[in-house]
Amino acid sequence: MDQDIGYRLKAIRTRLGISQRHLARVSGVANATISQIEAGRLNPTVSMLKKVLDGIPMPLSEFFADDFEQADRIFFRADELTEIADGGVSFRQVGANLHNRAIQLLKECYQPGAGTGRHAITHEGEECGILLSGRLEVTVGDETAVLRAGDAYYFRSDQPHQFHNPGNEPCELITACSPPSF
């Protein structure tokens, strides 16, 4: 249970790209607390967890929503997908608790001009995706391509990669990572 909370908090925090210390500062708690919660070494009180989430901000109901307590769910309606918005990029994730899972499937939407940021990302595993609409500029290693609806990609994630929507309409795509990266 404590571990579940930790995994979920870490997933949310890193997805937003903020550090433990930053979250600690804005929520007014000790950074050691967040470190230990995420490590599953601490069993937070409700009010402590709320205090932390207030810094994101995220209501408790959303933190516990979806399949947080039903990791074995099989079917998900469209409006049940876990949504994580981050600037011009929004993610809709199939399933919420993906630690110990093999696949992370996302429906992503990049607003015009939005992207993963100036710096390329590197992590373990592999990932791939296929575009549904709009255009997406994908850079992997020293290769760059602008994809259109129907185009796809597949690469090992230890190669530096970044995404960017160069068009003037939103870009939708389905992506898959293995293992899930937070």
Report the alpha-carbon distance of residue 19 to residue 34 in Å, rounded: 10
Q: With respect to its own copies, which residue has the nearer C-beta, 60 or 103?
A: 60
Report the alpha-carbon distance of residue 31 to residue 14 in Å, rounded: 15
Minimum CB–partner distance for residue 52 and DNA (Å)? 9
In the list its own copies, DNA, none, the entry touching 39 (Cβ below 5 to 8 angstroms by class) is DNA
State yes or no: residue 36 binds DNA (CB under 7 A). Answer: yes
Q: Residue 62 has which token pair?
A: 């959303």
> x/- string (CB under 7 A) for DNA, residues 109-128?
----------x---------
Give the distance, in angstroms, between the CA of residue 146 and the centroid of all CA atoms in the same chain: 23
Residues in 69-108 at the binding interface with its own copies, rule: CB under 8 A: 69
**Cα 178-65-92 angle, rounded to 5 deg:** 40
End-to-end CA distance of the chain: 19
The DSSP bridge pattern shows strands 89-93 and 104-110 to be antiparallel
State yes or no: residue 21 binds DNA (CB under 7 A). Answer: yes
C-beta separation of 106 from 174 below 8 A: yes
Question: What residues pair up with 73 in beta bridges, in sequence order?
Answer: none
State yes or no: residue 49 binds its own copies (CB under 8 A). Answer: yes
Q: With respect to DNA, which residue has the nearer C-beta, 12 or 147?
A: 12
Q: Which residues bind its own copies (CB under 8 A)?
A: 1-2, 5, 43-47, 49-50, 59-61, 64-66, 68-69
**Residue ranges binding DNA (CB under 7 A):** 2, 19-22, 29-33, 35-39, 41-45, 47-48, 119
